[in-house]
Chains A and B, each alone.
Chain A
Amino acid sequence: MEMTQILIENIRIYVIWKNANAAMLSNYEIFKLLTDLKEQRKDSGKNKHSAGQQNLNTIMYETLKYLSKTPCSRQSPEIVKEFLTTMIPHKLTKAEKLQLLNHRPQTAVEIQLMVEESEERLSEEQIEELIQTIAEILPGDPEQENTAPADAEMDESLTSW
């Protein structure tokens, strides 16, 4: 909760997006909030199994399970801040930046779906640049990244024959 509040104070405009009705939150903020809440409840925990608390337990468990498999589980306030600062020159809307942060797209196709009218607003080089920036700043899935070099090693050994 504390780190999120520091984040709010420093980058209020970017992280807590406000539109007419509500403030949008990134998946990372929810992930952090729920993880902290889980810790808190673990420490205090006698009454968390009572009938009334079951709903909170269920939704927390399911949401954490879902979010832990998304890129947000590997993010931190510093990473989010760096990402948003780097995105400033691209002039993307808040919703677009939020989707890029939550999904960590790796292909041009994904970026074209998340950014409206991307053919008009971004050239091919800019899209490539965006993919590079995202891959550098936002941490990826270590399992996914370990399989790629393994294949490369295999190819090398085949050609050496």
Chain B
Amino acid sequence: MFVLVEMVDTVRIPPWNFQRRLNEAIAEELNKKLANKVVYNVGLCICLYDITKLEDSYIFPGDGASHTKVHFRYVVFHPFLDEILVGKIKYCSQEGVHVTMGFFDDILIPPESLQQPAKFDEAEQVWLWEYETDEGAHDLYMDQGEEIRFRVTDEVFVDTSPTGPSTAPPAAASVEKKEAPYTLIVRTHFNVICQLKT
């Protein structure tokens, strides 16, 4: 579920941090910049793993801070395709079952990927699986807070960097939809779901 990604960046150390050891100051700046943030097409950055190379530090005219080009490796949450993961059900909606792992929330099980036949109970806002046995149909509810195992089938990266003001006048006062920068589309499996309590 976690990968190491090699990155390069120029880190700015302000003069009031010059008394600190360079490696520590750089590590703090990198974590400030990347931790808990999603990098487009890479994944959710967790924390700095190590610094592999430090190039010379430069001070530019007009700015008292030092600029250092750093090669480093960062721990990133980026599950591979078909990986099995465990999470908890956050809530259910028409779009499907929303699962969370605590540190990462945007995991969705679309209705077609649930065990069939699946039905959405409007009253309780919960998806349920109509499991037929010889004795009759059992309804297995996907309740909030229940642990669930799922397999990653797809990932969606959305570039949420700010765009400039549009020239066309805004059509109406529409509510800004906050799109998740990184979403996992997943599916459940027949046998594993049998472990859910009825």
A113 touches B47 (CB 8 A): no
A57-111 contacts to B, CB under 8 A, are 58-60, 62-63, 65-66, 70, 95, 99, 102-103, 109-110
Count of interface residues, chain A, beta-carbon cutoff 8 Å: 35
A62 touches B4 (CB 8 A): no
B35 touches A113 (CB 8 A): no
The reply on A53 being an interface residue by CB < 8 A is: yes
The reply on B5 being an interface residue by CB < 8 A is: yes
Chain A residues contacting B49 (CB-CB under 8 Å) are 33
Q: Which residue of B lies closest to A26 (CB)?
A: B2
A59 touches B46 (CB 8 A): yes
A59 touches B36 (CB 8 A): yes
Q: Which residue of B lies closest to A102 (CB)?
A: B1
Q: Which residue of B lies closest to A18 (CB)?
A: B4
The reply on A152 being an interface residue by CB < 8 A is: no
The reply on B80 being an interface residue by CB < 8 A is: yes
The reply on A149 being an interface residue by CB < 8 A is: no
The reply on B31 being an interface residue by CB < 8 A is: yes
Chain A residues contacting B78 (CB-CB under 8 Å) are 22
B189 touches A23 (CB 8 A): no
Given contacts A33-B47, A59-B47, A63-B103, contact A113 B192 (CB under 8 A): yes
The 8 Å CB contact of A55, one of B2, B36, B76, B84, is B36
B2 touches A34 (CB 8 A): no
Residues of B within 8 A of A (CB): 1-6, 28, 31-32, 35-37, 44, 46-47, 49-50, 75-76, 78, 80, 82-84, 86, 101-103, 151, 189, 191-192
Residues of A within 8 A of B (CB): 1, 16, 21-25, 27, 29-30, 33-34, 37, 52-53, 55-56, 58-60, 62-63, 65-66, 70, 95, 99, 102-103, 109-110, 112-114, 116
Closest 6 CB pairs of A and B: A62-B103, A59-B36, A56-B35, A55-B36, A52-B32, A22-B3
Can you show 17 pairs from A to B with CB atoms below 8 A apart?
Answer: A22-B3, A22-B5, A24-B4, A25-B4, A27-B1, A30-B46, A30-B75, A55-B35, A56-B36, A59-B46, A59-B103, A65-B103, A95-B83, A102-B1, A103-B84, A103-B86, A113-B151
